[in-house]
A = this chain, B = another copy of it.
Amino acid sequence: MNTFFRYLIIVAIFIGLYSKNSNAQQRDSIVIKHIFNEVFTHGQSHENLKYLCKEIGPRISGSNAAEKAIQWAFEKLKDSHADSVWLQEVMVPHWVRGQKEEAFLFSKNKKIKLAICALGNSVGTPEKGIKSTVIEVKTFEELRAIPTEKVKGKIVYFSRPFPDTVLFGGLAYGLTVNQRSQGPIEAAKKGAIGVIVRSMTHAHDQYPHTGATQYKDSFPAIPACAISTEDAAILSSTLQEDPNAQVEFKQHCKMLDEVKSYNVVAELKGTEKPEEIIVLGAHIDSWDIGEGAHDDGAGVVQCIEALQTLKKLQISTKRSVRIVLFINEENGLRGGLKYAELAYTNKEKHIAAIETDAGGFMPRHIGFAIAKEQLFKFKTWENLLAPYGVQAIDENGGGADIGPLKKQGALIIGFHPDGQKYFDYHHTENDVFEHVNKRELQFGSVVLAGLIYLISEHGIE
């Protein structure tokens, strides 16, 4: 065979591959546009979110509202004609806030009211509250450097703010949240009697942000609360002027006995490789303040909408698709752990898992938790999803509930909508239905439905 013929054959193969690929892309692009049209003309995510937020309301693990939300979602998924819908039993913690917290700052004959709320899982204070001078620190290192006798009996105030020059809210959160999650342990090691944490947000307002905290058995469990950023500024400036200023706070929260609860699972059986499972998940529990609209009502209704849309358009999936609404993401992750445990016990093969738990904002990035050099296959999907807001597919995958599936070989995929405002609402009274825009929410549904369609169609190899 001469060189010219060899060349011709190579060109022919190349054209063949290219046009096959190009035809597939064209077909995928049309399917996703159909999904968009269906969601934007008949989608019910916004109405569903209204119901979840306004009729059911906040739904912390163990609460009646959580049980109602589970039943409601179960029925919704049944009505959507999933091939099967079931509940996975799981024991969850049952933490209650009790009556509203109170806090005051006392300095030079002035008594200033502070906006606080108990951190999730925190113990309460004694009935009459706790009152003490305050040690303000920005880092654990700073706290560790202070002699124990100076901290003993005091309230520790962690005041490291969200850094302004970090591009994304999620990253700013990652750089500060250890104050909230580990602060009470660090403070208890030093003999402190209570903890105040600056709220995890870029916003300057009067909303304190709750969120899970932890204790260690080896140290006393001390009451811990979040303070609004505006009042954090007041507290810091007061302490500058008057190091003897005292804070008094009262909170009535406590951990009750564990309660039986459930993950909700719905499945579309794969037509060609039913044994390969793709999970699309969100968490059905929320914090007990606000309505859990962005966190994570938006994710829940998007998952339901993705399934409804595939069914309505009669798009059959080559691989099996599971919608999983996890319980207890906020203060225990029991749902995510249980799901992975059952997948292991039942020898299921999970090829990929996607979580939507970053608010009902415009889609921006999708992260596949693999090495950058393996991304090239998924990079070709950027064009398909770009019209619906996806700026880039990158390697920053992740998700609290789906994390435990990694051990079983699932590719962990994060759905990252635009994150500038998420932490304005996150874990506050202000996370309500009114702050979720209908079209932005729907764009998320489209991208998620499109993504599970693409994975189901093309696999992940």
Query: Which residues of B are found within 8 Å of A37, using beta-carbon distances?
Result: 165
Query: Which residues of B are found within 8 Å of A421, using beta-carbon distances?
Result: 437, 439-440
Q: Contact between A420 and B391 (Cβ–Cβ < 8 Å)?
A: no
Query: Which residues of B are found within 8 Å of A202, using beta-carbon distances?
Result: 438-439
Q: How far is the CB of A36 from chain B (nearest CB, A)?
A: 7
The reply on A392 being an interface residue by CB < 8 A is yes
- Per-residue CB contact flags for chain A residues 15-44 toward chain B (1 = under 8 Å, else 0) read 000000000000000000000110011000
The reply on A443 being an interface residue by CB < 8 A is yes
How many A residues face the partner with a CB closer than 8 A? 24
Query: Which residues of B are found within 8 Å of A175, using beta-carbon distances?
Result: none
Q: Which of A40-78 contact B (CB under 8 A)?
A: 40-41
Q: Contact between B392 and A420 (Cβ–Cβ < 8 Å)?
A: no
Q: How far is the CB of A383 from chain B (nearest CB, A)?
A: 11
Q: Contact between B418 and A418 (Cβ–Cβ < 8 Å)?
A: yes
Instruction: Give this chain's copy count.
Output: 2
Q: Which single residue of chain B is at the shortest CB-CB distance from A390? A: B391
Q: Which of A250-272 contact B (CB under 8 A)?
A: none
The docked-state distance in angstroms from the alpha carbon of A197 to that of B357 is: 40
The docked-state distance in angstroms from the alpha carbon of A362 to that of B421 is: 10
The reply on A142 being an interface residue by CB < 8 A is no
Q: Contact between B386 and A167 (Cβ–Cβ < 8 Å)?
A: no
Question: Beyond A420-B440, A420-B443, A437-B421, is A391–B387 a contact (Cβ under 8 Å)?
Answer: no
Q: How far is the CB of A233 from chain B (nearest CB, A)?
A: 16
The reply on A241 being an interface residue by CB < 8 A is no
The docked-state distance in angstroms from the alpha carbon of A440 to that of B362 is: 13
Query: Which residues of B are found within 8 Å of A420, using beta-carbon distances?
Result: 362, 437, 439-440, 443
Query: Which residues of B are found within 8 Å of A443, using beta-carbon distances?
Result: 420
The reply on A164 being an interface residue by CB < 8 A is yes
Q: Out of B164, B387, B391, which one reaches A386, CB within 8 Å?
A: B391
Q: Contact between A165 and B40 (Cβ–Cβ < 8 Å)?
A: yes
The reply on A424 being an interface residue by CB < 8 A is yes
Query: Which residues of B are found within 8 Å of A362, using beta-carbon distances?
Result: 362, 418, 420
Query: Which residues of B are found within 8 Å of A392, using beta-carbon distances?
Result: 386, 391
Q: Out of B40, B389, B391, B437, which one reaches A424, CB within 8 Å?
A: B437
Q: Contact between A167 and B387 (Cβ–Cβ < 8 Å)?
A: yes
Q: Out of B36, B41, B165, B437, which one reaches A36, CB within 8 Å?
A: B165
The docked-state distance in angstroms from the alpha carbon of A165 to that of B202 is: 34
Query: Which residues of B are found within 8 Å of A391, using beta-carbon distances?
Result: 386, 391-392
- Per-residue CB contact flags for chain A residues 382-397 toward chain B (1 = under 8 Å, else 0) read 0000111101100000
Query: Which residues of B are found within 8 Å of A389, using beta-carbon distances?
Result: 418
- Per-residue CB contact flags for chain A residues 433-461 toward chain B (1 = under 8 Å, else 0) read 00001111001000000000000000000
Q: Contact between B167 and A41 (Cβ–Cβ < 8 Å)?
A: no
The docked-state distance in angstroms from the alpha carbon of A180 to that of B133 is: 64
The docked-state distance in angstroms from the alpha carbon of A399 to that of B427 is: 40
Q: Which single residue of chain B is at the shortest CB-CB distance from A42? A: B164
Query: Which residues of B are found within 8 Å of A165, using beta-carbon distances?
Result: 36-37, 40-41
Q: Which single residue of chain B is at the shortest CB-CB distance from A446? A: B167
Q: How far is the CB of A428 from chain B (nearest CB, A)?
A: 16
Query: Which residues of B are found within 8 Å of A418, using beta-carbon distances?
Result: 362, 389, 418
- Per-residue CB contact flags for chain A residues 146-167 toward chain B (1 = under 8 Å, else 0) read 0000000000000000001101
Q: How far is the CB of A277 from chain B (nearest CB, A)?
A: 32
Query: Which residues of B are found within 8 Å of A440, using beta-carbon distances?
Result: 420-421
Query: Which residues of B are found within 8 Å of A438, using beta-carbon distances?
Result: 202
Q: Out of B36, B164, B386, which one reaches A40, CB within 8 Å?
A: B164
Q: How far is the CB of A418 from chain B (nearest CB, A)?
A: 6
Q: Which of A357-412 contact B (CB under 8 A)?
A: 362, 386-389, 391-392
The docked-state distance in angstroms from the alpha carbon of A427 to that of B97 is: 44
The docked-state distance in angstroms from the alpha carbon of A391 to that of B363 is: 11
Could you pull out 7 A-B pairs where Cβ atoms are within 8 angstroms? A36-B167, A37-B165, A40-B164, A362-B362, A362-B420, A386-B392, A421-B440
What are the 10 closest A-B residue pairs judged by CB atoms, nearest first?
A391-B391, A40-B164, A420-B439, A37-B165, A40-B165, A420-B440, A41-B164, A362-B418, A167-B387, A421-B437
**7 additional contacts (CB under 8 A) given A167-B387, A362-B362, A386-B392:** A36-B167, A40-B165, A362-B418, A362-B420, A389-B418, A391-B391, A421-B439
